[in-house]
Amino acid sequence: MTIVDGMTSGFFQAISIGVLPYLFSGAIFGLAIGIIPGLSGHFAMAMAVTFLYSMEPGAGIAFLLGAHSTVAQGGGLTAILFSTPGTGQNAATLLDGPPMRDNGQAGVAVGAALASCFLGASFGAIALALLIPVLKDVVLFFGPPEIFVLAFLALTFVAVLGKEDMTRSLIAALFGLLLAMIGVDNVTNTERFTLGSSDLADGLSLVPVILGLFAVAEMVELWLRGGSLAKGTTIALSGRETQKQIFYGIGLAFRRWWLVLRCSAIGTVMGLIPGLGSAPAAFVAYGHAKQTSKDKESFGKGNVEGVIGAEAANDAVEGGALASTIAFGIPGSSSMAILLSGLFILGLETGPQMLNDKVDIVFIMIFTIIIGNLIGTIFGMFLVNPLSRATSIRASMMVPVLLSIIVTGAYASESSLFDVGIALVFGMIGFLMKILNYSRAALLIGFVLGFAVEKNLYLSLLIDGPLFFLEPIPLTLCLITIGFLAINIYGIIRDRQRSKA
């Protein structure tokens, strides 16, 4: 299938009656989840994965990515209105969003944030489309040795560049690899780490593990914290004047198109690097916006350019992150790991097969991101008041409802009570990891990559022998991994010496 044929087919599938309703539902669901503080994009995607079993590939991808694409928009609204980012990637919006609200420009900030998210996501999606011809050629150079080493490079990036402690994140990643080995060995066909349980013979299912690590863990934290989901004073957007402000803010984002393009480019490039994620990209873009602004002094006091730069970058990241996920099957973040598991459930394989034979699926993803963000922008403008009321609901009322949905999702994946137990166990594990500063993203990515790591290691030893890592591309990737770790270890040692001095 040519790229033109794939693009045409992908577009018409995305707007077809069999796909568009799922895209619409996913976008609204993601927007609502993003608005509720404490519930992140991981939660939205983890919940969405449980519905994929009965869906066609196009509809499943539209629902899953639709939910993921609008979470940042909902989180931006929460950050501006309540000084509480619904997701971590909206943290940079706190620098100028709440000050604009306090200055009576909440509608302007909301409009600028929504439009910037849409423009940034569209830029990232278009960048992914332009990268397809390059990826189709590059991916042919990656065999089992290259994929094996690349997987460890991705784990290293996730561990080092995350907000958690590097050593603990590496431990979490290796623990994820070990968890992936539970079940039948795909080489010797013998059981291992099953503890004599027939339920573990097929290994741990992805869905209950995902639900446990992110959804159940968040519910436990909300329950223990108590109170309402929203912190601080709630501000309701209502009235004709507010709508005028929102439209004015949208206009400002389009008038600052050059800033949007630059910050979107920053987000896309950082998305290509596994482990960076949206939050660092948003802060880097915010810094760029401040440095290039003619009014640097007003940043942090309510400058709309700070909101535009941060929101454009954190949505553009997804285009770059999708590129590495689709081309190599190497998720650069926990969200992409959940997406990868969703593709597995839908019976889709990443890599050369998708880039050559399933180009239409790639373009469904691209158009889903664009259309999903457009839906999020429109509904974010007019449904801010009804959606924001959910933040005033007490956690004691919200948690039981959401937890019952989570348990149902875990059971529905394979109609197994054992999977419900797995979700609850991993919920406690995820909660403890969050408290002890261990990276749940690193554990999930290690778990998702476990099968590919083991299979490609076996094939590499079979094809090239024990010195397979001395081939040009694997050796280069090994040196990058070692150098990256060495630089960061040196930085940690230097900081400790300075603190003692």
**Residue 260 tokens, joined:** 């949007």
**Residue 307 tokens, joined:** 């909101």
Write 219-227 long-range contacts (CB < 8 A, 24+).
Answer: 219/399, 219/402, 219/403, 219/406, 219/427, 220/427, 220/428, 220/431, 221/38, 221/431, 221/434, 222/38, 222/395, 222/398, 222/399, 223/395, 223/396, 223/399, 225/395, 226/394, 226/395, 226/396, 227/394, 227/395
Any idea which residue has 């690590």 for tokens? Answer: 213
Phi and psi at 323, nearest 5°, equal: -60, -50
- In order along its 501 residues, the chain shows pLDDT tens digits of 677 788 888 888 888 898 899 999 988 888 877 776 555 566 677 778 878 877 888 888 888 888 888 877 777 777 777 665 555 566 678 778 878 877 878 788 888 888 998 898 889 888 888 887 777 677 667 778 887 887 777 777 766 655 557 788 888 888 988 998 888 876 677 888 888 788 888 888 877 887 788 778 878 887 887 765 544 444 444 557 777 888 888 899 999 889 999 999 988 877 776 655 666 677 778 878 887 888 877 887 888 898 898 888 888 887 877 887 887 777 756 677 778 888 888 888 777 777 777 888 888 888 888 898 888 888 887 766 554 455 556 777 778 877 887 787 778 667 788 888 998 999 999 899 988 888 887 787 788 778 778 888 888 888 888 888 888 888 988 898 888 888 878 877 887 888 776
Q: What does 115-184 look like in DSSP terms, one character per residue?
A: HHHHHHHHHHHHHHHHHHHHHHHHGGG--HHHHHHHHHHHHHHHHHHSSS-HHHHHHHHHHHHHHHT-EE
d(CA 424, CA 123): 39
**Res 428: pLDDT:** 93
**Res 426: pLDDT:** 92
**Res 234: pLDDT:** 45
d(CA 297, CA 284): 18
Torsion sign, CA atoms 190, 154, 214, 60: negative
Q: Which residues pair with 320 in a beta bridge?
A: none
d(CA 203, CA 93): 41
Angle among Cα 161, 164, 169 to the nearest 5 degrees reads: 80
DSSP label of 94? G
d(CA 440, CA 458): 27
d(CA 42, CA 207): 12
Residue 491: count of CB within 10 angstroms of its CB: 12
**Res 233: pLDDT:** 46
Cβ atoms of 62 and 19 within 8 Å: the answer is: yes
Q: Which residues pair with 184 in a beta bridge?
A: 191
Q: Is 2 helix (H, G, I), strand (E, B) or coil?
A: coil
d(CA 174, CA 264): 33
Q: Which residues pair with 228 in a beta bridge?
A: 394
- What value does the CA radius of gyration of the chain take, rounded to a whole number of Å? 22
Cβ atoms of 261 and 123 within 8 Å: the answer is: yes
Residue 127: count of CB within 10 angstroms of its CB: 22
**Res 232: pLDDT:** 47
